[in-house]
Structure 1
């Protein structure tokens, strides 16, 4: 059994991820003030690429699988777009945080993430297992929008 099978550990990782995402936008926006918005995005992704290579080498214990190219060839076309999606996200936060603030920007982004994640679950987009968009999820969506309004206004 892997530690990743532990619900509490995975929830903790998500908590850390949320803290990192909230911090990332503010950090990237500050870097953008000194290097320019476009260059800060390039710097962020270069450093991220190095960190990802280190993680990959740790994961495979320095030896990539022998059938890696065959595994990669089987991936659906859209699975290769994550880097573009990530770059768009980073650029949006670099542009929005100086204007809206970290709280409002993050509130809008997190709300959009949650709503679209529920849509992904319901319509099984990206081959995700079905989870219905229930009345309760709809009420939560309305609450999220209300939260964004409050955070943006006050």
Structure 2
């Protein structure tokens, strides 16, 4: 069993990811003030691509699977849109945080992410294999999250 199969470790990674995502928006918005919004987004993705390449080489221990090109060719057409979606996320953060602040921007984004995540789980779209119903309790939690977002935005 891999450590990545451990529920607690996976949850810990999500906590780290949440902290990183909240910090990323503020960091990128600040860099955008100095480098310009478009250039800062470009630099962020170049540095991110470099870090991702290092992770890839560690993951495959320097020896990528020889069948990798054919395996990638079997991926659904829409699965190639992660990069543009990431760029949209970064650009929206760079544009929104100076106007709304990091807390409000993050609250809105996280709320919508959670709602969309529940919809994706419910309908098993975009390749998600674990189906989880968008139950009444999940719906109520979503309403609570939207109300919380409103409070964060207002105060």
Gaps of 5+ in 2: none
- Where 2:96 maps in the other structure, the secondary structure is helix
The equivalences for 1:62-77 within 5 A come to 62-77=62-77
**Cα deviation, residue 94, structure 1:** 0.2
**Cα deviation, residue 127, structure 1:** 2.4
User: Partners of 1:127 and 1:27 in 2: how far apart?
Assistant: 31
Residue 21 (structure 2) aligns with: 21
Gaps of 5+ in 1: none
Higher alpha-carbon deviation: 120-129 or 67-76? 120-129
Residue 103 (structure 1) aligns with: 103
**Cα deviation, residue 47, structure 1:** 0.1
Aligned CA RMSD, in angstroms, stands at 0.5
**Cα deviation, residue 123, structure 1:** 1.1
The equivalences for 1:52-91 within 5 A come to 52-91=52-91
Q: Size of the alignment, in residue pairs?
A: 154
User: Partners of 1:72 and 1:147 in 2: how far apart?
Assistant: 41
TM-score of the pair, normalised by structure 2: 0.98
Higher alpha-carbon deviation: 89-98 or 119-128? 119-128
- Where 1:22 maps in the other structure, the secondary structure is helix
